[in-house]
Amino acid sequence: MTLAAANGGEPLIRWDWIGDHTGQLADLTAHHLKLALLPILFGLIVAIPLGLLCARWRWLYPPTLGVANVLYGLPSLALFMLCIPYFGIGSGGRADFTIIVPLTLFSLSVLVPNVVDGLRSVPDPVRQAATAMGFGTLRRLIQVELPIAVPVVIAGARVAAVSSISLVSVGTLIGNGGLGQLFVDGYSRDFTTPIIVSCVLIIVLALVSDGVLVAAQRLLTPWARRGTR
């Protein structure tokens, strides 16, 4: 079943090409996922303590948010190139950090505000009751405020994950773009199949990651199932 010819009698999608390249497609998909989602993990590891600090000492928040936003404003390609001298160029191994580090920085601009907003979403009576029952500041943050912030933090992680999955493709320009590599491949050979396949796979990855995060939220916060506070 071939689709209508788009250029010079060549079909839009050549299913046999897909069949011949399943191994490569699986590898690229896995690599794309790694490049996109490790930054979210690292981002959370940085954003949670940073958000806690910003919630504890409020004056820290505006400058932190300012820095995160400026970072987000930088072109991703520029940041990738800035990282080349440190981690190298190419795909796999150490060179992956050329992509992972900038994407981690990008994720912070979404994750930090969400951690802070999440902590601020804790209802006042709850915070007050915790204090009045004898929670110290740190224990209250970790045992009461942070768990209550989880739905808002995960909402941020969902946005960051989808944006990260799409940004990885830009890495193609420095030779490490996961599924984005297929773009270049397709364009340089005037061959549409890899382009369409990579687009579809990237969209599927975004949808699946989002679904996994939604499921994670349901598991982690059974108490919030009927609409989050």
Partner 1 sequence: MIQFDGVTKRYADGTVAVDDLTLQIPTGQITVLVGPSGCGKTTTLRMINRLIEPTSGTITIDGEDVRAQDPARLRRGIGYVIQHAGLFPHRTIVDNIATVPYLLGWDKKKARTTALELMERVGLDTKMAKRYPYQLSGGQQQRVGVARALAADPPVMLMDEPFSAVDPIVRKSLQEEFIRLQSELRKTIAFVTHDIDEAIKLGHTVAVFKVGGVLAQHSTPDELLAEPADDFVREFLGGEKGLKRLRFNRDLDRQDEPGAERQDKPDVEAAER
Which has the closest alpha carbon to 89: 30, 167, 173, 169?
A: 173
Beta strands in the chain (DSSP E): 5-7, 10-11
154 belongs to the binding site for partner 1 (CB under 8 A): no
Shortest Cβ 137–partner 1 spacing (Å):
9
221 belongs to the binding site for partner 1 (CB under 8 A): yes
- CA–centroid distance for 214 within its chain: 14
Tell me if residue 6 falls in helix, strand or coil. strand
Burial degree of 226 (CB within 10 A; 0-12, 13-18, 19+)? exposed
| Closer residue to partner 1 (CB): 59 or 226 | 226
| Closer residue to partner 1 (CB): 38 or 148 | 148
Shortest Cβ 54–partner 1 spacing (Å):
21
Shortest Cβ 180–partner 1 spacing (Å):
40
Shortest Cβ 139–partner 1 spacing (Å):
8
Calculate Rg over the CA atoms of the chain.
21
Burial degree of 20 (CB within 10 A; 0-12, 13-18, 19+)? exposed
Q: Which of residues 110-149 bind partner 1 (CB under 8 A)?
A: 123, 125-126, 128-136, 144, 147-148
Residue with structure tokens 């150490």? Answer: 94
Nearest-angstrom CA–CA distance, 140 and 92: 42
Residue with structure tokens 């739905």? Answer: 151
| Closer residue to partner 1 (CB): 126 or 195 | 126
Query: What are 143's two structure tokens?
Result: 């045992």
219 belongs to the binding site for partner 1 (CB under 8 A): no
Select the span of 46-54, 97-105, 198-206, 220-228 touching partner 1 (CB under 8 A): 220-228
| Closer residue to partner 1 (CB): 78 or 138 | 138
Shortest Cβ 156–partner 1 spacing (Å):
18
Size of the site for partner 1 (CB under 8 A): 22
Shortest Cβ 149–partner 1 spacing (Å):
10
CA distances to 63, 151, 157, 158 from 122, rounded to whole Å, are 23, 11, 19, 21
Select the span of 19-27, 32-40, 42-50, 218-226 touching partner 1 (CB under 8 A): 218-226
Would you tell me which residues interact with partner 1 (CB under 8 A)? 123, 125-126, 128-136, 144, 147-148, 150, 221-224, 226, 229
